[in-house]
Amino acid sequence: MGFLAFRRLLTVRRIWRQDFRLSTFPEMSADQLFFLYYALDNCELSDAVFQSHEFEAHRRLPAAMRVNMALRQSAQFAQAFQCRPGEPMVAEEKCQVLR
């Protein structure tokens, strides 16, 4: 859902002639940056003890797992980064809930 809203914004960007790319990563497309920002937004610094506590107390997976599990399900992510079936960031079986 967020990605679709972002794609609509890109249409507006073209009308306004704005570029959302980063000067430090000029080779990254706007779609790739969307997923980069998604990962950064969910970034956390934690050790194994904290992660274990979070899982036991709240059933919360570590950020890296939450991000990667969701992105592995995304056809838009695979297209943006040219991931192919069989590669680590493409789930062999897609989760029906995340479709």
Q: What is the pLDDT, as a whole number, of residue 15? A: 53
Average pLDDT over residues 24-51: 88
Average pLDDT over residues 69-83: 95
* Verdict on whether the full-model pTM lies above 0.85: no
Per-position DSSP letters for 32-80, written without gaps between them? HHHHHHHHHHT-----HHHHHHHHHHH----HHHHHHHHHHT-HHHHHH
Q: What is the pLDDT, as a whole number, of residue 78? A: 97
Q: What is the pLDDT, as a whole number, of residue 17? A: 59
Assign 89 a pLDDT band (cuts: 50, 70, 90): very high
Q: What is the pLDDT, as a whole number, of residue 44? A: 86
Q: Is the pLDDT of residue 55 over 70?
A: yes
